[in-house]
């Protein structure tokens, strides 16, 4: 269902990227119902019946009621986990959370509307090994990569490269250490630091270090590519630009035709209408694929460059895009 009705937005309460989409939809007079799955079941009530081949019912909080039949699209922007009464036992909480996922979440995925991104396909696309294989398959240049829990294999890989390599976490690693917010980013590993006993504790991903002139972010929305160079002016930002946003400068660019074709093919293979792609551009001008985030932030790129990414997202959610 597109072209009429509500856009259901599932996101955390404090999400500046999501706020951009809400503001633009409001400007277009497109009705919006925003909620976080953390509100279910304490502050978000669901009631739906299957009538024929459609689910009919409501989703409501203490402010508004959404007719599920009116949902034209869903913007799925990193909602947080459901919250349950504090007095629930650990065992009961586990059961309740499982039922919420398969019941509440399952009902929403059964709505006949478009999603950005589809949660199941987005979850599959988060697997870095899958991303790298598909990227190589569609012709993008991928750094040599090793996944291992064997310290000796890591040493052998480093020796084969004959230079520095990079350790990268498979997923976002964030938390609190001694009361301070901390995160794990890409880290350069010297060959002489291997083998290391900690490698045996879990799966690790190592890649060859790719010399970089700058990095590039390609934000793709429903076949439209918005490309920007990212120039990091600090040592930490040069290794992983996400570690030091304040040091960046940005510039709109045009990716090589083969790169543009590759990212579109990759999203088609993953079944996604949106992707935030990261590339390293070498001093020789070669574009090397790093990763794609199926729900990546884009607000900082739009703010710095003026690229109309929010408009493209809202076109898709409103139903005026392809």
- pLDDT category at 180 given cuts 50, 70, 90 is low
Task: Compute the distance between CA of residue 107 and CA of residue 119 in angstroms, rounded to an integer.
Answer: 13
> Is the torsion defined by CA of 34, 38, 41, 43 positive or negative?
negative
pLDDT over 90 at 119, yes or no:
no
What pLDDT sits at residue 1?
Answer: 42
Please state the rounded mean pLDDT for residues 157-176.
Answer: 80
Please state the rounded mean pLDDT for residues 181-188.
Answer: 66
Task: Compute the distance between CA of residue 21 and CA of residue 19 in angstroms, rounded to an integer.
Answer: 5
- Could you give the residue range(s) of every CATH 3.30.470.20 domain in the chain? 124-141+211-318
Closest-CA residue to 154 (of 223, 214, 203): 203
pTM surpassing 0.95? no
Percentages helix, strand, coil for the chain (3-state, rounded to 5) are 35, 30, 30
Please state the separation of Cα 146 from the chain's center in Å: 23
Quickly name the fold that domain 124-141+211-318 has. Answer: D-amino Acid Aminotransferase; Chain A, domain 1 (3.30.470)
Measured CA to CA in angstroms, residue 213 lies from 15, 85, 281, 282, 283 at distances of 31, 52, 6, 5, 5
- Mean pLDDT estimate for the chain: 89
Task: Compute the distance between CA of residue 234 and CA of residue 103 in angstroms, rounded to an integer.
Answer: 47
Closest-CA residue to 37 (of 57, 11, 70): 11
Q: Is 145 helix (H, G, I), strand (E, B) or coil?
A: strand
Q: What is the full DSSP assignment across 245-307? A: GGGEEEEE----HHHHHHHHHHHHHHT-SEEEEEEEE-TT--EEEEEEETT---HHHHHHH--
The label of the residue with tokens 């190592």 reads: 206
Per-residue pLDDT tens for 225-267?
Answer: 999 999 977 555 555 555 555 667 999 999 999 999 999 999 9
Half-sphere exposure of 10 (CA within 13 A, CB side): 26
Task: Compute the distance between CA of residue 144 and CA of residue 159 in angstroms, rounded to an integer.
Answer: 13
Report the residue count for the chain: 322
What pLDDT sits at residue 196?
Answer: 83
Q: What is the CATH number of domain 6-116?
A: 3.40.50
Q: Is 309 helix (H, G, I), strand (E, B) or coil?
A: helix
Per-residue pLDDT tens for 85-106?
Answer: 999 999 999 999 999 999 999 9
pLDDT over 70 at 126, yes or no:
yes
- Could you give the residue range(s) of every CATH 3.40.50 domain in the chain? 6-116
pLDDT over 50 at 2, yes or no:
no
Give the E-state strand segments of 110-213 in sequence order.
114-116, 145-148, 165-168, 173-177, 180-184, 187-189, 204-208
Per-residue pLDDT tens for 37-70?
Answer: 999 999 999 999 999 899 999 999 999 999 999 9
What pLDDT sits at residue 177?
Answer: 47
């Amino acid at each position: 269902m597109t072209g009429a009705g509500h856009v259901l937005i599932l996101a955390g309460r404090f999400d500046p990227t999501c706020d951009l989409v809400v503001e633009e939809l409001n400007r277009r007079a497109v009705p919006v119902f925003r909620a976080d799955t953390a509100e279910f079941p304490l502050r978000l009530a669901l009631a739906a019946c299957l009538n024929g081949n459609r689910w009919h019912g409501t989703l409501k909080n203490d402010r508004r009621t959404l007719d599920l039949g009116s949902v034209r699209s869903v913007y799925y922007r990193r909602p947080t986990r459901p919250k349950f009464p504090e007095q629930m036992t650990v065992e009961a909480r586990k059961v309740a959370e499982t039922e919420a996922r398969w019941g509440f979440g399952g009902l929403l995925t059964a709505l006949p509307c478009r999603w950005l991104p589809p949660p199941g396909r987005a979850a599959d696309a988060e697997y870095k090994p899958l991303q790298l294989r598909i990227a190589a398959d569609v012709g993008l240049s991928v750094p040599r990569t090793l996944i291992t829990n064997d310290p000796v294999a890591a040493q052998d890989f480093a020796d084969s490269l004959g230079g520095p390599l990079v350790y990268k976490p498979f997923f976002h690693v964030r938390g609190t250490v001694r009361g301070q917010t901390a995160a794990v980013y890409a880290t350069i590993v010297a060959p002489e630091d291997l083998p290391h006993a900690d490698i045996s504790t879990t799966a690790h991903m190592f890649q060859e270090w790719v010399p970089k002139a700058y990095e590039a972010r390609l934000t793709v929305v429903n076949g439209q590519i918005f490309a920007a160079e990212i120039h990091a002016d600090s040592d930490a930002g040069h290794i992983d630009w996400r570690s030091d946003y304040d040091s960046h400068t940005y510039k709109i660019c045009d990716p090589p035709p083969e790169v543009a074709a590759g990212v579109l093919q990759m999203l088609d293979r993953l079944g996604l209408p949106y992707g935030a792609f990261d590339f390293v551009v070498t001093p020789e001008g070669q574009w090397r694929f790093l990763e794609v985030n199926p729900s990546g932030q884009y607000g900082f790129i739009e703010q710095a460059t003026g690229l109309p990414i929010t408009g493209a997202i809202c076109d898709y959610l409103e139903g005026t895009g392809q």
